[in-house]
Amino acid sequence: MSAVDEDRVEAIFSTLELRQPNREALEAIAWRTHDHFDTQGMPPPYECVIDSATGAGKTYVLAATLEYFAADGVRNFAVVTPGRTILKKTVENFTAGNERSLLGGMETQPVVITSDNFTSPAMRAIMDDPEQVKLFVFTVQALTKPSTKLGKKTHEFQESLGAAFYAHLKDATDLVVFADEHHTYYGVAFSDAVRDLDPHLLVGLTATPHPKTPSEQIIYRYPLAQAIADRNVKTPVIVGRKDDLIDPMTKLLDGVALLELKEEVI
């Protein structure tokens, strides 16, 4: 990957309407990746972590990084999520026409490939197309060794691919992996599932880095206190009772009361 293109960073900042911290995160990824591969001549993989407050826009960092490296010729990107809720949201973020979609601000239009569609002949053709940018989105459970139904599906030989899907992904020499909620991938099975893909670049996104994360891997921090001060996230408010009632019915009724008050304010 070549030296950092500041004009490209500026263009992405503008078209994706990034917040300043997200631009800084993109610049950190670009510069540190350039330093690892081009300045120091180190081999892949390069693993780094963006520590950014929940709600500050980590998805925008992901989209901006994809856009940046796609312009360098990278064609294989993957997002690994800890569960299906985040997977569904990620797919929506990169699906044209969806209200959550970020594609309107992107020049790159990746094809989203998931465990639900990768076996189709159409997706096989797309995966074999060297010009098409692919965005593989999977739960970490789908990438673990075949002890689960999803794991078997991705590790077993697929006639349409001429290989197991996991092996197909592992063979991509330009693979950039985004590990959403990076701190959850330090268990042995999950760590192996992500890191054994042998990505060229592994970018972790989290608001709470795992204690085992090497400090030099955390290349950018945007803590909650700063995000609140910048008004980029809502100020958290703790609501408590004056008595000591903690039974389930009281909790449910309190929840309903708070929702009703919120509805009134809105």
What domains sit in the chain, N to C, each tagged with a CATH number? 6-229 (3.40.50.300)
Q: String of b and e for 3-14 (b: at least 16 CB within 10 Å)? A: ebeeebbeebbe
Q: Which residues contact 145 (CB under 8 A, 6 or more apart)?
A: 151, 155, 189, 192, 193
* Neighbouring C-alpha atoms within 13 Å toward the C-beta of 198: 9
234: number of Cβ within 10 Å:
9
- Cβ(262)–Cβ(256) below 8 Å: no
Spans of the chain below 70 pLDDT: 1-2, 145-164, 187-190
Specify the pLDDT at position 147. Answer: 56
pTM for the model = 0.83
Specify the pLDDT at position 63. Answer: 97
- Cβ(175)–Cβ(135) below 8 Å: no
Burial category of 92 from C-beta neighbours within 10 Å (exposed 0-12, middle 13-18, buried 19 and up): middle
Specify the pLDDT at position 157. Answer: 42
Specify the pLDDT at position 151. Answer: 47
Specify the pLDDT at position 166. Answer: 77
